[in-house]
Structure 1
Amino acid sequence: MTTAVTRPYTVTARIDTPDTVPAAYTATVYMNTADDNFEGYHHNQPLAEVTRPDGSPLRLVFHASDRITDHEAVADAAFTVGNHQGPDANGQSWPTDVRSVSVGDVIKVTCPDHWIIHLCVDSYGFSHVPEPTTLVNLAGTRATRRR
């Protein structure tokens, strides 16, 4: 003889949660302060690191994604933020008293694997440059700040 057994209904669901935070790139922008800065960057021209209004270094953060896949995409995203076109991944905007990122400026990109690459802003795109050697502290001067 067979007896019917009722089983409770069971629903199994898989909920995917990210185990890790997406890899993050950081970008540091250096303003070219030479007299002919808009003609492009030449090694040994003076550069000033962009800072926040309180004087601390400005580090833009971008998480790896479909759009942010390599150092040039990060430089492009930093250029966009540096031209007041939105914030970085942490909601950080470009300081209002700092001029926009322009041809001749240098963007330092630190990749998730700790590689550091320096890219010069060209009239179209970016080009690799050696690590800058002439860094100056010009916070508050007209070279980097708007009047």
Structure 2
Amino acid sequence: MTTTVTRPSTVTARIDTPAAAAAAAVGTAPVPAVYAVTVYMNTHPDNFDGYESHHPLAAATGRDGSALRLVFRAIDRVRSHEDAADAAFEVGNRQGADDHGRTWPARIRSVSVGDVVEVTGPDTRTVHLSVDSYGFTPVAEPTLLAAPADPDATHRH
């Protein structure tokens, strides 16, 4: 005895976004939306008490001395500027890598309370968030920036 099973019809649709349509026009795949993050290390003597606008900051740097930019694709775990800051905090505490495989330089201390995270999202909007004991607080763009340098060399406890 055979039994007939009816399967529901399946419809496949392609939805073009402006990025996908532009990529299709030139024959390339769309560029994934990303969040770019730069961490500024608080070099003030009271840096672990939290960030204040008069505290000097120095960008965490890569081997070449330029500001280290961590990149995170806008996917399920990173959907906002705060999610990207949280992902950067994890990398900055040596818990993995960014989406390009970059890890935190051994010569730079871990990201801590009082540091500031600059996040530029896929919408090109940039926000600055101070690292708090739990989470982040939006702050104005810092104005007291030192040249990118190894912050451990400028301040030691």
- Work out the number of aligned pairs and report it: 131
Which segments of 5 or more consecutive residues in structure 1 lack a partner in the other structure?
1-13
Shift of 1:99: 0.3
- Larger helix fraction of residues: 2
Aligned residues of 1:31 and 1:101 also touching (Cα < 8 A): yes
Taking structure 2 as the reference length, what is the TM-score of the superposition?
0.77
Question: 1:53 deviation in Å?
Answer: 1.9
Structure 2: 5+ residue stretches without partners? 1-11, 15-19, 21-28
CA contact (8 A) 1:98 1:144 kept: no
1:20-77: per-residue Cα shift (whole Å, max 9, x none)? 1320110000000000000000012100011112212100000001110000000000
1:89 aligns with 2:116: no
CA root-mean-square deviation: 2.0
Distance 2:114 2:43 in 1: 9
Partners of 2:151 and 2:31 lie apart in 1 by 38
CA deviation digits over 1:74-124, x for unaligned, max 9? Answer: 000000000011110000111110000000000000011110000000000
The aligned amino acid for 1:116 is T
Return the offset for 1:142: 2.6
Distance 1:141 1:61 in 2: 21
Structure 1: 4+ residue segments shifted above 3 A: 143-146
1:45 equivalenced with 2:55 (yes/no): yes
Structure 2 residue 137 is matched with structure 1 residue 127? yes
- The AA in structure 2 aligned to 1:78 is A
SS of the equivalent of 2:152 reads coil
Q: CA distance change for structure 1 residues 70 and 116 in 2, over 3 Å: closer, same or farther? A: same
* Contact 2:35/2:120 (8 A) holds in 1: yes
Distance, in Å, in 1 between the alignment partners of 2:90 and 2:71 is 13
- Which protein is bigger by CA-based radius of gyration? 1
